[in-house]
Amino acid sequence: MNEVVNELLKLGKKVSTMESCTGGYIANIITNVEGSSEVFNFGAVTYSNSFKEKLGVSSEVILKYSVYSMETSMEMSKNIAEFSNADYGIGITGKINREDQNNMFGDNSKIFISIFESGKNNFSNFEIVADSNLDREGNKKIVINKIIEKMKELLVNTTISQRDIAEQVGIGSEQTMYRLFKQYMGCSPGEYRKHPSADSTIAAETADEYHESEE
């Protein structure tokens, strides 16, 4: 997250968050970085539908698609950016292997993430499926794995720039993408694009690391 904050500082951009199932986790990571006060505008944890709606989320969208949907996360990201006058808004909603008696619709294991860029009126969206055999810490590693897999797909099957790939998967900067990819793949994104056959079983390694930490 250091790289993201530093990139925002260089660009003079601001970011705000509206989180549900992550309970302020993203805002906490951002504000733990020195200098984040210059880039972080506002953070909201909106567990209830009524407070999502107070911050601009459409009740019609919630009724039509459920509160646990990509459409709702897009409403969250756009409205928090507009509410706080931020350049980027992050919206996260979903259920991590649990039922919500007040909102029975939606998958019990999906997390929906949307990043809204105000200047371009553009959304970057993706969803994560939680692993019922892992706790929240284990599922954080699953999130990283999904992001890496998305990067690999874009590197091999498209010719778009690494910067654009970083934006599409919601990482925020090319530097952060390079660091994560190198850490989990053992090579740079550019090297992987040239030699995609040099693959690795990230999911298996991620699970092994998690279970080893539990022993």
Q: What is the pLDDT of residue 100?
A: 55
Q: What is the pLDDT of residue 87?
A: 92
Helix/strand/coil for 87: coil
The 3-state DSSP composition of the chain as helix, strand, coil percent (nearest 5) reads 50, 15, 35
Higher per-residue pLDDT: 180 or 197:
180
Beta bridge partners of residue 88, listed in sequence order: 15, 117
pLDDT band at 170 (very low <50, low <70, confident <90, very high): low
Q: pLDDT tens across 116-148, in order?
A: 989 889 888 888 877 677 776 676 666 656 655
* Of residues 28, 21, 119, the one with CA closest to residue 72: 21
Q: pLDDT tens across 60-95, in order?
A: 999 999 899 999 999 999 999 999 999 999 999 987
Higher per-residue pLDDT: 146 or 209:
146
CB 45 within 8 A of CB 30: no
Q: Angle 191-194-195 (CA atoms, 0-180°, nearest 5)?
A: 85
Where helices occur in 69-135 by DSSP H, the ranges are 70-84
Domains detected in the chain: 1-130 (3.90.950.20), 133-215 (1.10.10.60)
CA–CA distance, 82 with 97 (Å, rounded to integer): 31
**Phi and psi at residue 147, to the nearest 5°:** -65, -45
Region 46-51: mean pLDDT is: 92
Express as a percent the part of the chain with pLDDT over 90: 28
Helix then strand count (H, E) for the chain reads 10, 5
